[in-house]
Structure 1
Amino acid sequence: MLRRLYDWTLSLAGSPRAVWALAAISFAESSFFPVPPDVLLVPMALARPERSFLYAGICTISSVIGGLFGYAIGALLYDTLGHWIIQAYGYGQNVEAFREAYASYGEWIILIKGLTPIPYKLVTITSGFAGYNLLWFTILSIITRGARFYILAVLLRRFGAPAKEILERNLGLAAVLLVATVVGGFAAVRFIF
């Protein structure tokens, strides 16, 4: 099953829909979707390393726009949709602590959490809920999300061929590591706040 999914993702990299799928996942991950865009970005960059920077740019732009949508959820719809999303991920009791931390460390929270596997949607929704400055939120999101995706693109472009061979030989392990990273990010939020 993993092999078919991996092969399908590699074949998607060559299709005109690839860029749109990557943009959609990057957007959604920043506001409500639990799966990071890496699941498409990595195979796509491995399949077409010469386009890895383009893919990183698409992820960055889409992620920041999705982050603005998440910010709007927190600012305008927190009592309904925003609260439900935070509760669905099991972090409802932590939102007040997160909101209070913004008073002193808002810029560091955005910069650090944007680079980590901690779900960025929690940062975007809480930023809106906390009333963090929208201009600074946008600038910091561009910096942190851009750094995250472009660092990955540089690594994939530089080590793409050997990484692809290792990934294909150890597809099961790679899937377990991806799931562990996503789950670890969600768990980290519980222990931090």
Structure 2
Amino acid sequence: MLRRLYDWTMSLAGRKSAEVWLAVIAFVESSVFLVPADVLYLPMGLAKPERAYRYALVATVASVLGGIAGWALGYYAYDAIARPVLEFYGKLGAFEQLRLYIHDEWEILLLLLVTSGLAHLPPIKVVTILAGVIHMNLGFFVISAIIARGARFFFLAWLLRRYGEPIRHFIEKRLAQVTGIVAAVAIALGIAYKLFAH
């Protein structure tokens, strides 16, 4: 199923309505969809590098709005909607594990800014829903989401404008690994701080 979703999302890049689809995918990725918006954003940015920053803005705005929707699902409708969605995608276990260890807004901020925002670890929808479940302040959440998602999409735009097609392989194959290492270090530092603070 994931492969079909991935292929379908990729196919949208060649349509005239690609920009609209980018907004739709970025929105639902942050709340209920499994395939990251990067899958659509990268071929669009490579096809029209002069529009890379415009696409980054579209993806950022839609992703933040989708994050607010994810937050609302966690805050108001976890059992009715969010839990079944997480279960459907096989992310409920990851969510419940995070829920055991994440108790305050600063821990969510770390996840949102560093791990989900940069490396999709865990998927952004898991973090946005969790932010709602723990009743993270919505204003704080929105500012965090703007920074996290904007940093990712505008960094991709910069890479595409500067390096073009040669950077695609690095983005698709290596960027997640690099940001994953950064995320792991950030999490380790966060855990260490938490242990020593108490």
1:115-154, aligned counterparts within 5 Å? 115-118=118-121, 119-154=123-158
The SS at the match of 1:102 is coil
Q: Which residue of 1 aligns with 2:20?
A: 20
Q: What residue identity is the alignment partner of 1:117?
A: H
Q: Which residue of 2 aligns with 1:107?
A: 109
Return the alpha-carbon distance in structure 1 between the equivalents of residues 32 and 125 of structure 2: 6
Per-residue deviation, residues 84-138 of structure 1 (Å, max 9, x unmatched): 1122233334434423413262221221222112210000111101111111100
Structure 1: give runs of 5+ residues left out of the alignment. Answer: 168-173
Q: Which residue of 2 aligns with 1:159?
A: 163
TM-score of the aligned structures, taking structure 2 as reference length: 0.74
Q: What is the percent sequence identity of the aligned residues? A: 40
| Structure ranking higher on relative contact order (CA contacts 8 Å, 6+ apart) | 1
1:1-193, aligned counterparts within 5 Å? 11-12=14-15, 15=16, 17-99=17-99, 100-103=101-104, 105-112=107-114, 113-118=116-121, 119-163=123-167, 177=173
Q: What residue identity is the alignment partner of 1:111?
A: L
Per-residue deviation, residues 166-189 of structure 1 (Å, max 9, x unmatched): 79xxxxxx6xx59xx6xxx9xx9x
CA contact (8 A) 1:102 1:132 kept: no
CA contact (8 A) 2:31 2:128 kept: yes
Number of equivalences: 167
Q: What residue identity is the alignment partner of 2:150?
A: G
Return the alpha-carbon distance in structure 2 between the equivalents of residues 10 and 40 of structure 1: 6
CA contact (8 A) 2:56 2:154 kept: yes
| CA 1:62–1:6: 2 relative to 1, 3 Å | closer
Return the alpha-carbon distance in structure 2 between the equivalents of residues 8 and 106 of structure 1: 34
CA contact (8 A) 1:63 1:145 kept: yes
Return the alpha-carbon distance in structure 2 between the equivalents of residues 71 and 23 of structure 1: 18
Structure 2: give runs of 5+ residues left out of the alignment. Answer: 1-6, 189-198
| Superposition RMSD in Å | 2.9
